[in-house]
């Protein structure tokens, strides 16, 4: 049974035709965006979790070997453990977020 999150579905549709290679520059830009926009972390985690529920057999554990950091009250991910398709979704999320901030 697919799990739906409207923003996730929208982002996924936006990247469907994209097969761009995920290089280190794209990953670093994504990391910079995640760091800069702390108010997006909960929604980003929901997108990551939705991807996990729809694309993984292992849905009981934390997604993609992340760790919960009690001192920061948040999750830490190694971007190299995240699938390229999900990285594309997250990059698209931050493009939309930055565009909405410009308005």
Q: What is the pLDDT of residues 19-41, one digit of tens each?
A: 778 999 999 999 999 999 999 99
Q: For residue 88, what pLDDT band results from cuts at 50, 70 and 90? A: very high
Comparing 2-6, 9-13, 23-27, 32-36, the range with the smallest average pLDDT is 2-6
Averaged pLDDT for residues 36-51: 93
State the DSSP string of the chain: -----HHHHHHHHHHTT------HHHHHHHHHHHHH-GGGHHHHHHHHHHHHHHH-S--SSPGGG-EEETTTTEEE--GGGS-HHHHHHHHHHHHHHHHHHH-
Supply the pTM of this predicted model: 0.87
């Amino acid at each position: 049974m697919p799990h739906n999150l409207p923003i996730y579905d929208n982002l996924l549709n936006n990247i469907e035709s994209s097969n761009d290679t995920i290089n280190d520059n794209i990953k670093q830009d994504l990391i910079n965006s995640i760091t800069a926009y702390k108010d997006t972390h909960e929604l980003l985690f929901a997108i990551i979790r939705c991807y996990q529920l729809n694309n993984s057999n292992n849905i009981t554990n934390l997604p993609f070997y992340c760790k919960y950091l009690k001192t920061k009250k948040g999750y830490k991910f190694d971007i190299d453990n995240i699938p390229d398709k999900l990285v594309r979704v997250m990059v698209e999320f931050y493009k939309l977020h930055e565009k909405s901030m410009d308005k």
